[in-house]
Amino acid sequence: MSKITKTQVRELNEKHGYFEFGDAQGDVSLDFANDAIEKYLAMREAAPDMYEALMDARSALRYIRESHGELYGVGFDRVESRSTAALAKADGKEAGK
C-alpha cells in the first residue's frame, strides 16, 4: 500500500496552505492523508466485487418484476434505476444511452 512521506505532506501543505504551523499539524496531515489513501485503495480493490454484486442485484430485481409483477413497487423501481445509473457510470457511459 502506498503511503506518503512527511516531506510530501509539507509540500502539499505549503502548496495549498492548509496548515500554518510545524510538526503537530504535519503529523495530523500525514495521518489524514495516509488514512485517505488506505480507504481509497480498499475501495478501489473492492470495486470489481461491488460492481458484480450490483449487477446481480439488478438482475434479481428484473427477474422479480418479470415473474411477479404484483410485487414490483416504487422501492424496486428506485433501486433498479439507481443501480442502472451507477453501473453505467462505472462503465463510463450515461444511463439510458
What are the pLDDT digits (tens) for 18-58? 655 555 556 667 777 778 888 888 888 899 999 999 999 88
CA angle 14, 17, 19 (to 5 degrees): 90
The pLDDT score that the predictor gives to residue 38 is 82
The predicted model scores a pTM of: 0.57
> Is residue 97, in this structure, part of any structural domain at all?
no
> Do the domain assignments include residue 67?
yes
Quickly state the pLDDT bin for 1 (edges 50, 70, 90): low
Closest to 55 (Cα-Cα) out of 94, 88, 95, 87: 87
Q: Is residue 64 part of a domain?
A: yes
Is residue 12 in some structural domain?
Answer: yes
Q: For residue 39, is it within any domain?
A: yes
How many domains are contained in the chain? 1
Neighbours of 29 (CB within 10 A): 19
Answer whether residue 49 is part of any domain.
Answer: yes
Q: How far apart, in Å, are the Cα atoms of 25 and each of 2, 4, 21, 22, 39?
A: 21, 15, 6, 6, 21
- Min mean pLDDT across 7-11, 22-26, 60-64, 73-77 is at 22-26
